[in-house]
């Protein structure tokens, strides 16, 4: 009985606790650096999951939105001397406009036309970033200014005094990324539990049925597409400031696929699952370096086995397994199999 978990684990406080305690277990700045990047990418994936897991639409060009945010921040702060936040907002507005323009005609159609449209758009944006070297630095990449908030510069290399404590910029950045991830999850969960979320799940279940009961399906699909694109853009901006150097690879088709894989691997429509997916997919290249020549084979093998044995994704499959193992309490026989 002592092992019995509550039926609904309060996710957000648990995630906050994990993020808070994590730095204590990280050996050096390199680990902290990876954790910060994972948090930023995980927040992007939480946004993508709104579209894929709840909206039932696949975007094969999400890295392009991410890249647009990153490049908007890099160019506006670097070349034009803007401060970080207006640049970030400007990038997000641009991305929202693009997503809206693209999604409005496409999402009136039934089926998976959005994946085709985003695939094409993603590749076009990657080509533009590659070719317009005068603006974007071309294939060799672009250096990005550190994040500035209200005149204060947040660089991973500096040290700051916070409430009388000496704190490294790397740790502050980790804190910021963790906060962004929590915020991303909080917004996503509120969206899911709102009428928008219910409408979307109805669309995911059966678009025809949803329409019959009066849900404006194309409107909701468009809304969630724009929201998830803005998620990607904002995180792209932070990511660019954090890493200090971006190349067109952030907007590439391969990166889009990586983001989608995180969603599918972690578990569609499971906010915490996709975070797990992001953690796993970002950590694997670092963990598998010992296999050297077999690194890519191991990577493929892990993905294949997960998809074969856990088709619903990691977290949903695992939590189902835990639920099955747990002896059903006599007083509430039905609740365990809900």
Instruction: Kindly state the number of chain residues that form the binding site for other proteins, as judged by CB under 8 A.
Output: 30
CA distances (Å), 208 to each of 107, 223, 273, in order? 14, 19, 28
320 binds other proteins (CB under 8 A): no
143 binds other proteins (CB under 8 A): yes
Q: According to CB under 8 A, which one of 16, 23, 31, 168 is a site residue for other proteins?
A: 31
Residues recorded for the chain: 338
86 binds other proteins (CB under 8 A): no
Q: Which residue has the tokens 């890519």?
A: 296
25 binds other proteins (CB under 8 A): no
Considering the complex, state which of residue 59 and residue 155 has its C-beta at the smaller distance from other proteins.
155
Strands in the chain per DSSP E: 142-143, 147-149, 152-154, 159-162, 165-168, 245-246
Cβ neighbours around 320 below 10 Å, total: 12
77 binds other proteins (CB under 8 A): no
CB 19, min distance to other proteins, A: 20
CB 153, min distance to other proteins, A: 14
Q: According to CB under 8 A, which one of 28, 161, 331, 337 is a site residue for other proteins?
A: 28
124 binds other proteins (CB under 8 A): no
Strands in 8-123 per DSSP E: none
299 binds other proteins (CB under 8 A): no
Question: Which residues, 6+ apart, have CB-to-CB distance to 230 below 8 Å?
Answer: 47, 65, 92, 95, 96, 99
CB 261, min distance to other proteins, A: 15
CB 338, min distance to other proteins, A: 42
331 binds other proteins (CB under 8 A): no
139 binds other proteins (CB under 8 A): yes
Q: What is the C-alpha to C-alpha distance for residues 305 and 309, in angstroms, rounded to an integer?
A: 6
Q: What is the C-alpha to C-alpha distance for residues 48 and 51, in angstroms, rounded to an integer?
A: 5
Stretch that binds other proteins, among 57-65, 92-100, 213-221, 290-298 (CB under 8 A): 290-298
Q: What is the C-alpha to C-alpha distance for residues 240 and 271, in angstroms, rounded to an integer?
A: 24
Given a contact cutoff of 8 angstroms between Cβ atoms, the answer to whether 56 and 201 are in contact is no
Q: Which residues bind other proteins (CB under 8 A)?
A: 27-31, 33-34, 37, 130-131, 133, 138-141, 143, 157, 243-247, 249-250, 285-286, 289, 292, 295-296
């Amino acid at each position: 009985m002592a092992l019995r978990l509550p039926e609904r684990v309060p996710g957000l406080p648990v995630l906050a606790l994990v993020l808070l305690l994590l730095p204590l277990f990280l050996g050096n700045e390199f680990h902290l650096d990876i954790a910060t990047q994972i948090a930023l990418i995980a927040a992007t994936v939480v946004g993508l999951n709104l579209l894929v897991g709840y909206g039932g639409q696949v975007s094969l060009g999400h890295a392009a939105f991410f890249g647009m945010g990153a490049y908007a921040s890099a160019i506006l702060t670097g070349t034009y001397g803007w401060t970080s936040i207006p640049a970030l907002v400007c990038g997000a507005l641009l991305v929202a406009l693009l997503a809206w323009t693209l999604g409005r005609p496409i999402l009136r159609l039934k089926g998976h036309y959005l994946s085709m449209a985003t695939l094409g758009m993603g590749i076009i944006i990657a080509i533009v970033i590659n070719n317009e070297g005068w603006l974007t630095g071309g294939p060799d990449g672009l250096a990005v200014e550190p994040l500035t908030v209200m005149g204060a510069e947040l660089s991973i290399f500096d040290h700051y005094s916070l409430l009388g404590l000496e704190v490294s910029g790397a740790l502050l950045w980790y804190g910021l990324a963790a906060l962004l991830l929590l915020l991303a999850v909080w917004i996503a969960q509120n969206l899911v539990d709102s009428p928008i979320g219910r409408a979307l799940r109805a669309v995911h279940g059966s678009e025809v049925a949803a329409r019959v009961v009066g849900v404006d399906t194309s409107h909701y699909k468009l809304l969630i597409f724009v929201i998830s694109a803005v998620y990607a853009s904002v995180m792209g901006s932070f990511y660019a400031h954090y890493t200090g150097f971006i190349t067109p690879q952030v907007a590439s088709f391969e990166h889009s696929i990586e983001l989608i894989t995180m969603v599918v691997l972690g578990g569609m429509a499971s906010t915490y699952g996709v975070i797990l997916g992001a953690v796993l997919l970002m950590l694997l290249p670092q963990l598998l370096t010992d296999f050297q020549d077999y690194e890519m084979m191991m990577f493929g093998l892990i993905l294949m086995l997960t998809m074969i044995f856990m088709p619903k994704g990691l977290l949903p499959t695992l939590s189902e397994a835990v639920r099955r193992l747990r002896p059903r309490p006599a007083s509430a026989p039905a609740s365990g199999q809900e």
